[in-house]
A and B are shown apart, each in its own frame.
Chain A
Amino acid sequence: MTQDSKQRIPVNESEPNSRQLTFEIFRFNPLDPGSEPHFDTFTLEETAGMTLFIALNLIREEQDPSLQFDFVCRAGICGSCAMLINGRPDLACRTLTQALPSTIRLAPLPVFELIGDLSVNTGKWMHGMSERLQTWVHTETEPDLDAMEAAMEPALAEQIYELERCIECGCCVAGCGTAVMREAFVGAVGLNKMARFRLDPRDERDDGAFYELIGHDDGIFGCMSLMGCQDVCPKALPLQTQLAFLRRKMAFAGI
């Protein structure tokens, strides 16, 4: 359950005739007044097991050192490399070129503030969302740091962990028609966090308190069930299940 269930095409090392790949990459530097948004084209020979991480680094090293994009972990853990790959949000480090047609169009995630080219400031958005939704454990009592922590049922811990796997990559936000249209919408990432804290017995907030945070049209009632989030989440989180669950709980709390 806790494994990423998205299937990636296995690497075929002995591929004899390699493809010529054409990359169309969005370019714009908001800090440069002379810069106009446009797409640049680069070509590259495909190698076995090539990911977009490898391809973008090759382009930057060999063709255009000014190309901006983000990578940290190269392993689908940090969430910083999300971009639109042929129109769909996904992690560049976990996308094999083999799984794509020979023309690959890369653009930055919409909704988030553009830093330059493919690099966006998801951190700022996530921080704002976390503050709005107060995504941390709320307790009335001062926790005793020396005391033994209360044990949690393994099944419950497992359930919380399943939702905790979110890497805040922003794919679900960029893949959501509601979030793209309505700036203030908290997105599946925010709602998933609410579902996670609602499960957590250490969080003492009741449904009334959660309702205050997400019981409105920029929260759970803004979600139009377009399922873009569910279909693009690179960690394959069960977002539909969480959204439907929250909607029922919040509708019940609110009527």
Chain B
Amino acid sequence: MSSIPSNSRWPARLDLLQSASGLALALFMWVHMFLVSSILISNDAMYAVAKLFEGYYVFGRSYPWLVSAAAAAILVLIMLHAALALRKFPQSTRQYQLFLGHKNRMHHPDTTLWWWQVVTGFLLFFLAPMHLFGMFSQPDQIGPYASSYRVYSTHWPLYLILLFAVELHGAIGLYRLAIKWLSFPTMPVPVMRKRLSLLKWGMSAFFIILGLCTLLAYYRLGSTLQDQPGERYHPVTQSQCPTNSEVLS
């Protein structure tokens, strides 16, 4: 195997990196959704999650730059994944025409889903950085009130599109990863595909519904804050926990 010259090894490495970065991002997005949806439990729960990521429960005080660092790391991961995935995009008008003609002739679900991955992936090139830059530049503006105010006053359309784009792109991507790398020797391929496909739609639906409920919760909370921009949340049960403004001042 050492006979393979090092420059011909790159296709294997890039293919693995594309899959690995996609896997990491998809799993991150699911965890992220669960964390963000903590607002559905209570304002305090969401506050605790925000504090957790500022390192409060580890260091005893909040470091919002930890959130900036995480946002930057995710952005780098997205850039890596996008650069690798771009190799698979159609590369010319002709390739677009050929692929779309093929997709429209075939009426083949997995082929059509790939097109949706291209479309949602393209949207995410632009929408994900908008959100990430906000998190990067204003890491202290994450909390039940600050986030709700942002959602209600400006950001809800961005989050709404992001929700659909991410949950479709991620679930389709994970489904494709399974098809790409795994064989199930004891199960006929069509049975395996059907089960994976059901799982995929289930995951998309679950996270989109959870996301919509969450977004609505922030929106409603935000609407009650409209004349108090900048209002900070003070936890009911954790009065010992300082707010960001206190930490920063």
Contact = CB atoms under 8 A, between A and B. Distances in A.
Contacts of A227: 108, 110-111, 179, 193
Q: Is the interface of B mostly helix, strand, loop or mixed?
A: helix
Nearest to A1: B188
B195 interface: no
Interface string A206-226: 111101100111010101111
Nearest to A253: B1
Interface stretch (A13-21, A29-37, A132-140, A237-245): A237-245
B98 interface: yes
Interface in B53-95: 87-88, 90, 95
A224 B180 CA distance: 8
Interface-central residue, A110, A215, A226, A255, by most chain B CB under 10 Å: A226
Interface of B: 1-4, 8-9, 11-16, 87-88, 90, 95, 98-99, 101-108, 110-111, 114, 176, 179-185, 189, 192-193
Given A177-B99, A251-B15, A226 B114 contact: yes
B197 to A, nearest CB: 10
A244 B16 contact: no
B114 A230 contact: no
Given A87-B105, A228-B110, A181 B1 contact: no
A244 B114 contact: no
B4 to A, nearest CB: 5
Nearest to A227: B110
Contacts of B179: 225, 227, 240, 244
A247 B4 contact: no
Given A181-B95, A208-B3, A244-B180, A228 B11 contact: no
A231 interface: yes
A115 B11 CA distance: 35
Interface-central residue, A180, A243, A250, by most chain B CB under 10 Å: A180
A211 B105 contact: no
A84 interface: yes
26 contacts: A88-B106, A110-B102, A177-B99, A180-B101, A181-B90, A181-B95, A181-B102, A182-B95, A212-B8, A215-B11, A216-B8, A221-B12, A226-B108, A227-B108, A227-B110, A227-B179, A228-B106, A241-B183, A241-B185, A245-B183, A253-B4, A254-B4, A254-B8, A254-B9, A255-B12, A255-B16
A177 B12 contact: no
Contacts of A234: none
A248 interface: yes
Nearest to A182: B95
A221 B105 CA distance: 25
A242 B43 CA distance: 51
Contacts of A224: 88, 114, 176
B23 to A, nearest CB: 14
A251 B87 contact: no
Interface residues of A, number: 42
A25 to B, nearest CB: 15
B13 A225 contact: no
Given A228-B110, A247-B180, A253 B99 contact: no
Contacts of A181: 90, 95, 98-99, 102
A170 interface: no
Contacts of B1: 206-208, 211, 253
Nearest to B89: A181
Contacts of A206: 1
A215 B4 contact: yes
Contacts of B87: 217
B19 to A, nearest CB: 9
A175 interface: yes
Interface in A2-33: none
B83 to A, nearest CB: 14
A49 to B, nearest CB: 27
A64 B48 CA distance: 78
A217 B8 CA distance: 11
B190 to A, nearest CB: 8
Interface in A190-213: 206-209, 211-212
Interface-central residue, B8, B107, B110, by most chain A CB under 10 Å: B110
